[in-house]
Amino acid sequence: MSETLGGAYETEKLKVSPEALETAESFTTALNNFHWRADYLRFCEVLGFTPDSYAEEKYQQFRELVSYLDCFDKEAIAKMIEAGK
């Protein structure tokens, strides 16, 4: 199945490569593990931030990122990785 979106892009069903699936799994698992284990101060330490309002905003964005990544299964993330190549 393929669609034309505004004449600019054509998409079709993508097969997910084992490499993309492994990348998606590794990426989401690592971020979830870091989220689980690290608090705000550890987040700042890892990223080299000084604890301030900028770092607090980035920490909140990181927490949202992890939350939103959990909205997608690994195969969907792998498909996006494949499509982005």
Does residue 8 fall inside a structural domain? no
Residue 27 lies in a domain: yes
Q: Is residue 61 assigned to a domain?
A: yes
* Domain tally, the chain: 1
Looking at residue 85, what is its pLDDT? Answer: 84
Tell me the three-class secondary structure of the chain, residue by residue.
CEEEECCCEEEECCCCCHHHHHHHHHHHHHHHHHHHHCCHHHHHHHHCCCCCHHHHHHHHHHHHHHHHHCCCCHHHHHHHHHHCC
Range of the domain at 47: 16-83
pLDDT of the chain, 85 residues: tens digit per residue? 444 454 445 455 668 899 999 999 999 999 999 999 999 999 999 999 999 999 999 999 999 999 999 999 999 999 999 998 8
Q: Is there a domain that residue 53 lies in?
A: yes
Establish if 3 belongs to a structural domain.
Answer: no
11, 13, 14, 39 from 4: Cα distances, Å: 7, 13, 15, 45
Q: Is residue 76 part of a domain?
A: yes
Domain presence at residue 4: no
Instruction: Return the pLDDT at 7.
Output: 45
Question: Residue 23 has what pLDDT?
Answer: 95
